Amino acid sequence: MPNFQDIFKNDVVRGTALGVSAALVAFAAIPLIITATRPLARVALKTGLLALEKGREAISEAGENLEDLVAEVKAEMVADREAFNASVAEAVEENLEEME
C-alpha cells in the first residue's frame, strides 16, 4: 500500500492538488476582493465622470470662442468689401467726371 507522502511525489497528483487548492482559494477570495475594491471603483468612476463633464464644458467654451472669432472675421470681411466697393464707386465717378 502506497504511503501518503509517496502520493504527492507524483507530479500529476501534486499539480492537480495545487490547481484545486488555488481554485478554492480564488473562489473564496473573489467576493472579498470585490467588496474591498468597490469603494475604489466608485471613486475612480466618479472622478472619470467629473473629468468628462469638465472636458465637455471646456470644449463647449472653445466652440463658443471659435464661433465668436468666425463672426468677427466675417464682419471684417463685410467691412472690407464695403470699403472696396465704395472706393471702386468713387473711382468710377471720378473717371466719369473726367470723361465729361
Q: What percent of the chain has pLDDT over 90?
A: 50
Task: For residues 40-51, give the mean pLDDT.
Answer: 95
Cell numbers given for 42: 466608485
Q: Is the pLDDT of residue 9 over 80?
A: no
Q: What percent of the chain has pLDDT over 70?
A: 89
Question: How crowded is the C-beta side of 43, counted as CA atoms within 13 Å?
Answer: 5
Q: Is the pLDDT of residue 45 over 70?
A: yes
> What global pTM score does this model have?
0.50
Return d(Cα 51, Cα 74) in angstroms, integer: 34
Q: Residue 93, SS3?
A: helix
List the one residue out of 5, 23, 2, 1 whose CA is nearest residue 14: 5
